[in-house]
Amino acid sequence: MKATIVLPLAAAVLACSASLQDRAGIWFTGQAVNTTSGLVSGHGATNQSGVSEYLGIPFAQPPIGDLRFAAPVEFYGTAPLNGTSFGPSCPVKASNTTTPSVNIIIAANITEAGVEMAGIFATPNNYNEDCLYLNVWTKPQTGEAKKAVLVWIYGGGFTSGSSAIPGNTGANIAELEDVVVVSLNYRLSILGFPGNPAGPNNLALLDQRLAIEWVRDNIENFGGDPSRVTLFGQSAGSVSVDLYSYAWVKDPIASGFIAESGTVFSWGLPHTATDSAGAWFKVTATLGCGNASADSTSVLSCMRSKSSAAILAALPAASGIASILGYFGPTIDDTVVFSNYSARTPAKLPILVGSNNYESGYFRTEFALANATLPDLFWDEYTLQDFTCPAGIRANASVTANIPTWRYRYFGDFPNTRISSEAGAWHGAEMPIIFDTMPSEPASTPEEISISAYMRGAWATFAKDPVNGLATYGWPSYDVSKDTLIRLAYDNITGTNAVNPAMYDADCVYVNVSSTQEIGAPLQTSGASKTNATSTAGTSGSGSALGSSPTTVQSNGGGGRFEGQIGLVLAAVVMTWFL
């Protein structure tokens, strides 16, 4: 301990003057690193003591006071920073989920791993509006002098999530793959996507951009290579990565994109400016700050005078698409978020895009915990419309633009990643495999360990050389006419096991991805007549089987029902079991 107080400063000075080759030799764990935010000292990561972990580095000024509902402003500092703990997570609306009864939990077939996973993927209870922090994991002692960088953007339906989720630590990837890992926070719900027509919108996406600019400016001092930065994200984080690929075409900073279970074509997004403004004024009126007829400057200053908790508590109860995402999310501004993605071309950078075989497994498990049941056919359609087809359409867009493209479908269903008996390869199931954060009990199976190393290796190989890496890894680039849909973990096979994408995409001709499949609403179809059983789910199954059950689930106030939420639901489960 004593040594670590004195030595970081000396090492920082040495590190700045030494060449990169020399630097590797003199690096020691947690040494202070000079950044535009200040001199940050870290420590050895838990369980990966050779990895230097720098947590809670500010990249933007606190988005409070006059900076609430404003674009993020760069943080610049020269003071020492203590990088040994995560910064606060961005505020989320308090959950109103009632604890499921023991009978319900048993009936939902929740597994022991499901309970453990709820803890591993839960956001620690440290929220503050001053939340624009990022984290860095690096191991410069070994490997490449300048390492490829993977930047993680969390999901959570744009209404929950955090870079402090233990299951998304970058420590294991940094240790195992010779890359630098960064994760960042961004504002959520109305604080990230206010919808105010008189001010900037999509602030959360600007937060992400500012953090990525910070990576460009600072990552070299951590042993990273600013010319090889790959963004990866899951769910709303994956949508964020993809929105970024269209928003920053001229100056992407990044050199590759990995989109796990979300694209610009997902979930009927983005919101129109009109809808978002309507949601904004609903909240302003609820808080007594005036409505669309009031002076916009006084509405804004009134909204800035309220506590973030009061604002989040005033969010309207959600229905329709908002029951999944909340009313506040990516909104068309024709600057960062566009109305016409199918007519646009993304940044000409390689992309790895994919989804899981049974994304619905996550949602049906949540529904089961709320004592709500929907027909299997409904859930099959949900996976198809909201995940499979958006991934396929996005892959097509890159292929059409002659961009190197790879596409996967993940099938893993292992004893320690299975959240319930019915969950299959659920929405999020690949995260513990990529991050190597599976529960320790039950133990990982040999196939799982092999597949985990293989997938993580693919992600890192892509980051190291986005154009050629995966070809060298043996992955066929995407071509709808060939067997190029890579089936990860299918039949527990380590390898590509690729098939023609039509095997899973054929029914995409029947779905309209612009019209999100709401959980609990009658299925939206493109109007074409369906030729087989799936039409049953579309026309009658889902609509009539619902009754009032989904309302139970929606009673959590319209917060994202994505992974953050299952954390909350299952955390309640844990409490029940231990009471």
Ligand X SMILES: *[C@@H]1O[C@H](CO)[C@@H](O)[C@H](O)[C@H]1NC(C)=O
CB of 549 to ligand X, least distance (A): 7
Establish whether the linkage from the previous residue to 550 is cis, with ω within 30° of 0.
no
CB of 465 to ligand X, least distance (A): 26
Residue placing its CB nearer to ligand X in the complex, 145 or 528: 528
* C-beta separation of 185 from 162 below 8 A: yes
Q: Is residue 342 annotated as a catalytic residue, yes or no?
A: no
State how far the Cα of 188 lies from the Cα of 252, in Å rounded to an integer: 23
Residue placing its CB nearer to ligand X in the complex, 141 or 500: 500
State how far the Cα of 388 lies from the Cα of 266, in Å rounded to an integer: 9
Residue placing its CB nearer to ligand X in the complex, 353 or 389: 389
DSSP secondary structure of 71-133: ---B----SEEETTSPPPBPP-PPP-PPPPPHHHHHHTTB-HHHHHHHHHTSPPS-B-S---E
Q: State the angle between helix axes of 112-120 and 563-578 in degrees (0 to 180), rounded to the nearest 10.
A: 120
State how far the Cα of 525 lies from the Cα of 532, in Å rounded to an integer: 14
CB of 531 to ligand X, least distance (A): 5
CB of 442 to ligand X, least distance (A): 9
Angle (nearest 5°) at CA 435 between 434 and 441: 100
3-state DSSP percent of the chain in helix, strand and coil, to 5: 40, 15, 45
Q: Looking up tokens 């996005």, which residue turns up?
A: 394
Q: Is residue 420 annotated as a catalytic residue, yes or no?
A: no
Task: Tell me which residues touch ligand X (CB under 6 A).
Answer: 16, 34, 36, 46-47, 82, 84-85, 96, 101, 103-104, 107-109, 166, 169, 291-293, 334, 338-340, 343-344, 368, 371, 380, 389, 392-393, 396, 414-415, 421-422, 440, 445, 447-448, 480, 491-492, 505-508, 512, 514-515, 526-527, 531-534, 555, 557
Residue placing its CB nearer to ligand X in the complex, 290 or 465: 290
Residue placing its CB nearer to ligand X in the complex, 469 or 572: 572
Q: Which of 52, 89, 162, 235 is catalytic?
A: 235
**φ, ψ for residue 273 (rounded to 5)?**
-60, -35
Residue placing its CB nearer to ligand X in the complex, 105 or 464: 105
Q: Which of 116, 129, 359, 381 is catalytic?
A: 359
DSSP secondary structure of 200-228: ---HHHHHHHHHHHHHHHHGGGGTEEEEE
Residue placing its CB nearer to ligand X in the complex, 104 or 302: 104
CB of 66 to ligand X, least distance (A): 25
Residue placing its CB nearer to ligand X in the complex, 286 or 555: 555
- Going from the C-alpha of 237 to that of each of 1, 42, 182, 185, 408, the distances in angstroms are 37, 26, 14, 11, 17
Strands 33-35 and 38-41: what pairing? antiparallel
Using only the alpha carbons of the chain, give its radius of gyration.
23
Q: Is 474 exposed, middle or buried (0-12, 13-18, 19+ CB in 10 A)?
A: exposed
CB of 271 to ligand X, least distance (A): 12
Residue placing its CB nearer to ligand X in the complex, 96 or 301: 96
Q: Token pair of 519, please?
A: 């959980």
CB of 32 to ligand X, least distance (A): 10
DSSP secondary structure of 316-347: PPP-TTHHHH-S-S-B--SSSS-S-GGGS---
CB of 473 to ligand X, least distance (A): 22
Q: Which of 398, 427, 452, 518 is catalytic?
A: 427
State how far the Cα of 480 lies from the Cα of 471, in Å rounded to an integer: 17
Helix (H) or strand (E) holding 234: strand 224-234
* C-beta separation of 421 from 109 below 8 A: yes
Q: What 8-state DSSP symbol labels residue 388?
A: I
DSSP secondary structure of 258-275: EEES--TTSTTPPBPHHH
CB of 491 to ligand X, least distance (A): 5
State how far the Cα of 39 lies from the Cα of 83, in Å rounded to an integer: 10
Q: Is residue 359 annotated as a catalytic residue, yes or no?
A: yes
* Residues acting as catalytic residues: 235, 359, 427
